Structure 1
Amino acid sequence: MAALEICEVSHWFGTNRILNKINLRIDAGQIVALVGPSGCGKSTLLQAILGTHPPS
Structure 2
Amino acid sequence: CAMHLELIEGQIWRQHNSTEIYIDRELIERGVSPKDIILGFRSPSVRKRIAAAMED
Same topology, TM > 0.5: no
Q: Structure 2-normalised TM-score?
A: 0.31
- TM (normalized to structure 1)? 0.31
Q: Which has the higher contact order (CA 8 A, sep 6+)?
A: 1
Question: If each structure's helix is expressed as a fraction of its own residues, which one has the higher value?
Answer: 2
User: In proportion to residue count, which structure has more strand?
Assistant: 1
